[in-house]
Amino acid sequence: MSWFQFATRHRASIASLVVLVFPLVMPFTALAVNILIYGLYALGFNLVYGYLGLLSFGHAALFGTGAYLCGIAIVHFALPWYAAIALGILGGLLMAALIGVLAIRTRGIYFAMVTMALSQCVYYLFYQAVDWTGGENGLRGINVRVIDIFGIKLNFINPLTRYYVIAAFVIAAFFVLSRILASPFGAVIEAVRENETRAKASGYDATVTRLITFVLSGGFCGLAGALQALHLSIVPIEILHYDTSGVVVMIALLGGMGTFFGPMIGAAAFLLLENLVSVWTVHWQLIVGAVFMICVLFFPAGIWGTLISRGKP
Amino acid sequence: MAGLSLDLIALQLFAGLALGAIYVLFAIGLSLIFGMLTVVNFAHGAFYMVGAYVGVYILMLGGDFWICLIAVPLLVGLFGVAVERVLIRPLYGRGIDYPLLLTFGLSYVMVEFVRIAFGKTGFPFDTPEILQGAVNIGVGYFPLYRLFVIGATATVLLALWLFLEKTSFGLIIRAGARDPQIVRVLGVDVARVWLIVFGIGTAIAGFAGLLAAPLQGVIPEMGGTILAEAFVVTVVGGMGSIGGAVLAGLLVGVVVSMTSLFAPEMAKVSIFALMAVVLIIRPQGFFGRAGLMS
Amino acid sequence: MNKITKPGSISRRRLLTTVSAGAALTVSPFRINLLQAQEATIKIGFPVPLTGPYGTEAQDQVRAGQLAIAQFNDAGGLGGRKAELVVRDDKLNPGEAATRTLELVEKEKVNFVVGSLSAAVQLAINNVTKERGIIFNSISQSDAINEAADFSKFTFHEALNPHLTSGAVGRYAFSKFGKKVAFLTADYAYGHEMVRGFLDVGKAFNIENLGDIRHPLGTSDFSTLLPRIQALKPDILCISNFGRDQQIVLKQATDFGVKKTTQIIAPLLSHASRVAAGPQAFEGVIGGCSFYWGIEDKFASTKAFNDAFRKMYDGKLPTDYGALGYGGVRTVLTAVKNAGSVDTDKVIAAMEALKYDFYKGPQYYRKCDHQSVQSVLVIRSKSKDMKNESDVFDVINTDEPNEANLRTCAELGHKS
């Protein structure tokens, strides 16, 4: 079989291998962790935009809810780390269900607008709930020093240990996502995107499909948020702002929508670009914005999308 | 509550109208561009900001506010035309998302350019001397300049209405807003129409930025917040509807003004909640086109 | 952003150790370690918001911080060991600040961190540094870091806080301009802290609180709030917000004619804001600040600081924010020198014992929350009789350093 088919068959494994050696090539480990987390966030987003074709401008609400629930679990309820992460995932799923139910009947541009408006409401609500979220100062104190796995104590403060713990979750997410896409449901998602009327005629409920996909997306984004909370040991309120929704759109496009490796590559490209350009000039937004525009104009399939379309047999 | 009187409420209402006027100008451009080109211009806030900065530059060169009123929309409109021709036109036919994404990136670039050219901290923008001070409008003292803003907005709206209703070009625009396919079939050079509409839309945005400058000063980030709020206006009024933008703009201005009176913390949430409610119940807003699909 | 990498130092270290090894047949490990230690630079991480609306202030802080470093190095450093400022851009974003701090601690292996401008950012940095046992001297003007929940023995606070400044301004204004006070406050932590400070002081002066009107952060139009305020007919209007919000509201208040009947006071007036908003908006407004170059007539330390800054930076004068950068870095370096080492516990002890006068008169760190006890200047904006382009304020009063002006240790949650 061609290399492309091989890569597709074993995509989760290949992605995992890259993740394992990744920190060795990054300027500093915390950046590598950020790339993982934003990559996972973009992976969740990609499920809705790349595979389903729905542009959402409110994904920050899913990412942020996951982060806050994980943080609140640790700071206010002193729950162990694994319970906090589970709560983060749950938070993402529930918030996605809530927003999804309200937004899913709208289409096209309006879907983008509703999701943006609803996510702004979430932002203001979390902002006001100062006792739980710390409000404008953010939620501090998510200090997990030791990760206890069945008696083995890992030092979470050590940068490399922290990376590999988080990587473990991201790798698990890869496999879950790959399974979903390869499953019959994955085919339905594509069917709905390609030709909705036909899919409906074949007996699939397009609206329900969209909602389920959106909720699943929330799960991945919620996990990413929870990991972010643990990594930075804070949850800043900015995580819920529409800028964060905009960032994931840029990352998904940069990497290549509707592809498996695209989101991760996009996250790496975006964050590395931001990091490197920041060292050289304070005007990094100019470069990042220009690169993004060039992608939209000339490389709409993103970095990875363009590469595979060139290399496809 | 201390000091709540009919006079205060009336004054607050006026303030809401003045606030709404800027929203209206901003939203009209956004709505026009969406109605005709089906493009969501995420850089509209940046054009607004550029209008203010062009005004600053003209003042620096020694001009006065009155020259700005003419020069700013012209210059910003020309810039808008260039953007449409070079950056947006290649994207038509590729799907409704691409121009949105492009303008999204464009806004980052425009803001940063302005930061490089004019610095990060922004400039104070003095109210022109003739328009300083407050007048007694019966229910209390109200700044003269804000009355001017209401008046200027009304003038622009009148001019726009005359253009759309009374000229043949305006006829094409209205037809195109209702049914782009037929207009093309009838042999109209749609590309040129879109170019001009984008130019007009951005010109009005720049004009709004200039008007807003004496109210709040000028900083590179000034386009960001108003963009989010203007989306509310365009959605509530209906994307593509001028009348809707006017009504919704004034409504939002008054809503913000009134909630500020009773519960200022809720002012921002209230408009986004309003937007969400409208989108769920009646996605096309007051007067928008129904059934806009991707 | 300038960085480390002195490749020469590695070969110098090797040369020295080789020479010593050759000079004596037996070289104790202690001796070699000492020589190696002499070469390792003392690194101070400096995250400040170089991008964003406070970029100008941040750059001033970098300049002033570099001055402190240069003075330390020129005086011989720590027994020959030089210091270095590792500057990073926190983009005024707490998430970014946390990432930068992780980079500074994990990759750059900084010995200390000084910096931050926004309250949320300082709390984010503090959360990272205290977990890893790194001293952090915050130069952000906010209260929250002193509270027991966020505080740690590694946390220091060089900058003053809203309680201190609003107290100083309140004490001055409430005795002079009348008793009917209205408040216009930005609805976020900083705004609340400022109002709380004013109300605390106001109790002693028996002020009549006409009402506290809140506005959301980032408001660009106060036209809906100002009529309400004018209707209350206050003697004093106390506006508690900052940065752009403050510039806009002062401008619009001037337009609405508020200054004709009411004295406007603000807890904090910054040099950069005054320059950005222009003389008209700020005219006659009274507020507080931590530093003004103009007090050089009063303090030799100020004159020395001004002169050194002018010399290093082409005649420019330091601003309030710049001075914080200077103080924050210089206190840490002085403590290092006094302790004779970069060992964290020794430096903490040295900082706690420090009594200093580096740029504005006597200061010291309070034991329970490491807050720098310092003077507060009450200033009034001016536009006439300016000695030079930096002469935008008159200092009309000074609150001398006094622990009583701070919130008590108990109030902040510290157990004695």
C88 and C224 both lie in a single domain: no
Residue ranges of chain C whose CB lies within 8 Å of a chain A CB = 1, 50-51, 55, 89, 93-95, 98-99, 102-103, 106-107, 119-120, 123-124, 126-128, 131-132, 144, 149-150, 188-189, 217
| A83 domain-assigned | yes
| A271 domain-assigned | no
pLDDT attached to residue A118: 87
C257 and C383 both lie in a single domain: yes
Task: Decide if pLDDT at B127 tops 90.
Answer: no
Residue C185: its chain B contacts at CB < 8 A? Answer: none
Using the 8-state DSSP alphabet, how is residue C318 labeled? P
Q: Which of C127, C100, C209, C168 minimizes the C-alpha distance to C402?
A: C168
pLDDT attached to residue A284: 81
- In which domain, by residue range, is A179 found? 26-242
Is C225 in Cβ contact with B3 (below 8 Å)? no
User: Coil, helix or strand for A152?
Assistant: strand
What would the mean pLDDT of B15-37 be, rounded to a whole number?
87
Contact B71, B58 (CB under 8 A): yes
What's the domain count of chain C?
A: 2
C151 and C189 both lie in a single domain: no
C339 and C281 both lie in a single domain: no
pLDDT attached to residue C68: 95
Phi, psi of C182 (to 5 degrees): -110, 150
Residue type, B153: T
Please say whether the dihedral angle defined by the alpha carbons of residues C11, C16, C22 and C28, taken in this order, is positive or negative. Answer: negative
Task: Decide if pLDDT at C14 tops 60.
Answer: no
User: Touching check for C6 and chain B: CB below 8 Å?
Assistant: no
Is B90 in Cβ contact with A286 (below 8 Å)? no
What's the domain count of chain A?
A: 1
| C23 domain-assigned | no
Task: Decide if pLDDT at C4 tops 70.
Answer: no
Which member of B119, B217, B268 has the closest CB to residue C277?
A: B217
User: Touching check for C251 and chain B: CB below 8 Å?
Assistant: yes
Interface A-B: count of C-beta contacts within 8 A: 110
Task: Decide if pLDDT at C221 tops 90.
Answer: no
User: Which residues contact residue B109 at a Cβ distance below 8 angstroms, ignoring those fewer than 6 apart?
Assistant: A285, A286, A289, A290, A293
Residue type, C107: K
Residue B38: its chain A contacts at CB < 8 A? Answer: 109
C185 and C281 both lie in a single domain: yes
C369 and C385 both lie in a single domain: no
Is A145 in Cβ contact with C131 (below 8 Å)? yes
What's the domain count of chain B?
A: 1
User: Touching check for B219 and chain C: CB below 8 Å?
Assistant: yes
The residue of chain A nearest to residue C87, with distances taken between CA atoms, is A279
Q: Which of C365, C341, C344, C345 minimizes the C-alpha distance to C355?
A: C365
User: Touching check for C298 and chain B: CB below 8 Å?
Assistant: no
State the pLDDT confidence band at B149, using cuts at 50, 70 and 90: very high
Residue B220: its chain A contacts at CB < 8 A? Answer: none
What would the mean pLDDT of C395-401 be, rounded to a whole number?
90
| A250 domain-assigned | no
State the pLDDT confidence band at A282, using cuts at 50, 70 and 90: confident
Contact C310, C333 (CB under 8 A): no
C91-126: pLDDT as tens digits: 889 999 999 999 999 999 999 999 999 889 999 999
| B294 domain-assigned | no
How are beta strands C42-48 and C83-89 bridged, if at all? Answer: parallel
User: Touching check for A161 and chain C: CB below 8 Å?
Assistant: no
Bridge partner list, C87: C46
Q: Looking at per-residue confidence, does A64 or A127 come out higher?
A: A64
C222-264: pLDDT as tens digits: 776 888 788 889 999 999 988 888 888 998 888 888 898 999 9
Distance from CA of B196 to the nearest CA of C (A): 31
User: Coil, helix or strand for B221?
Assistant: coil
Is A232 in Cβ contact with C124 (below 8 Å)? yes
- In which domain, by residue range, is C305 found? 42-160+297-374
Q: Which of A256, A250, A252, A247 minimizes the C-alpha distance to A228?
A: A247
| B1 domain-assigned | no
pLDDT attached to residue C39: 59
Contact C174, C236 (CB under 8 A): yes
Bridge partner list, A213: none
C305 and C192 both lie in a single domain: no
Residue C55: its chain A contacts at CB < 8 A? Answer: 282
pLDDT attached to residue A1: 61
Percent of chain C with pLDDT over 90: 51
C153 and C201 both lie in a single domain: no
| C21 domain-assigned | no
| C8 domain-assigned | no
What would the mean pLDDT of C157-166 be, rounded to a whole number?
90
Choose from A104, A105, A111, A113 for mutation: most chain B CBs within 10 A: A113
Percent of chain B with pLDDT over 90: 30
| B134 domain-assigned | yes
Contact B206, B50 (CB under 8 A): yes
User: Touching check for C192 and chain B: CB below 8 Å?
Assistant: no
Task: Decide if pLDDT at C163 tops 90.
Answer: no
C278-309: pLDDT as tens digits: 888 899 999 999 999 988 888 899 999 999 99
Task: Decide if pLDDT at C5 tops 60.
Answer: no
Residue A279: its chain C contacts at CB < 8 A? Answer: 1
Task: Decide if pLDDT at C8 tops 70.
Answer: no
C129 and C167 both lie in a single domain: no
State the pLDDT confidence band at C33, using cuts at 50, 70 and 90: very low
C228 and C340 both lie in a single domain: no
Owner of token pair 């300016």: C386
Residue A105: its chain B contacts at CB < 8 A? Answer: 280
What would the mean pLDDT of A42-63 be, rounded to a whole number?
92
Which member of C94, C102, C103 has the closest CB to residue A138?
A: C94
Please tell me the pTM assigned to this model.
0.86
- Mean pLDDT, chain A, rounded, equals 88
Interface B-C: count of C-beta contacts within 8 A: 104
Which member of A53, A102, A109 has the closest CB to residue B40?
A: A109
pLDDT attached to residue C306: 93
C392 and C351 both lie in a single domain: no
CA angle at residue B268 from B267 to B271, to 5 degrees? 90
C272 and C183 both lie in a single domain: yes
Residue C98: its chain A contacts at CB < 8 A? Answer: 232-234, 236
User: Touching check for A246 and chain C: CB below 8 Å?
Assistant: no
Residue ranges of chain B whose CB lies within 8 Å of a chain A CB = 34, 38, 40, 87, 90-91, 94, 96-98, 100-102, 104-109, 111-113, 115-116, 228, 231-232, 235, 239, 265, 268-269, 272-273, 275-276, 279-280, 283, 292-294
A5-45: pLDDT as tens digits: 777 778 888 888 888 888 888 888 899 999 999 999 999 99
User: Which residues contact residue C48 at a Cβ distance below 8 angstroms, ignoring those fewer than 6 apart?
Assistant: C58, C61, C62, C87, C88, C89, C90, C115, C116, C117, C325
Residue A28: its chain C contacts at CB < 8 A? Answer: 102-103, 106-107
| A103 domain-assigned | yes
The residue of chain A nearest to residue C132, with distances taken between CA atoms, is A157
Which chains lie within 8 Å of chain B at 3 or more CB pairs, if any?
A, C
| B4 domain-assigned | no
Q: What is the 3-state secondary structure (H, E, C) of A18-47?
A: HHHHHHHCCCCHHHHHHHHHHHHHHHHHHH
Residue B94: its chain A contacts at CB < 8 A? Answer: 300
User: Cα(first)–Cα(last) distance of chain A, in Å?
Assistant: 11
Least confident of A60-69, B53-62, B82-91, B171-180: B171-180
Report the alpha-carbon distance of residue B223 to residue B212 in Å, rounded. 11
pLDDT attached to residue B264: 65
Report the alpha-carbon distance of residue C123 to residue C287 in Å, rounded. 26
Is B18 in Cβ contact with C225 (below 8 Å)? no
Contact A221, A63 (CB under 8 A): yes
What would the mean pLDDT of B213-227 be, rounded to a whole number?
84
Is A136 in Cβ contact with C188 (below 8 Å)? yes
Report the alpha-carbon distance of residue C393 to residue A66 in Å, rounded. 48
Which residues 2-61 of A are in CB contact (within 8 Å) with C? Answer: 27-31, 34
Q: Which of B75, B72, B41 minimizes the C-alpha distance to B198?
A: B41
Is C150 in Cβ contact with A284 (below 8 Å)? no
CB-based contacts of C172-178 (< 8 A; 24+ apart in sequence)? C172/C286, C172/C378, C172/C396, C172/C397, C173/C236, C173/C238, C173/C263, C173/C265, C173/C286, C174/C201, C174/C202, C174/C205, C174/C207, C174/C236, C175/C205, C177/C235, C177/C236, C177/C263, C177/C265, C178/C235, C178/C236, C178/C263
The residue of chain C nearest to residue A128, with distances taken between CA atoms, is C188
Phi, psi of C268 (to 5 degrees): -140, 130
State the pLDDT confidence band at A172, using cuts at 50, 70 and 90: very high
| C19 domain-assigned | no
Task: Decide if pLDDT at A256 tops 60.
Answer: yes
Residue B44: its chain A contacts at CB < 8 A? Answer: none
Owner of token pair 């804001």: C273
pLDDT attached to residue C60: 93
Which member of B105, B112, B273 has the closest CB to residue A296?
A: B105
B36-78: pLDDT as tens digits: 788 889 999 999 999 999 999 999 898 889 999 999 999 999 9
B75-104: pLDDT as tens digits: 999 999 999 999 998 888 777 778 888 998
Which member of A28, A232, A238 has the closest CB to residue C107?
A: A28
Is A159 in Cβ contact with C51 (below 8 Å)? no
How are beta strands C208-215 and C180-186 bridged, if at all? Answer: parallel
Query: ipTM of this model?
Result: 0.89
Report the alpha-carbon distance of residue A1 to residue B39 in Å, rounded. 43
The residue of chain B nearest to residue C245, with distances taken between CA atoms, is B216
In this structure, what CATH number is given to the domain that contains residue C100?
3.40.50.2300
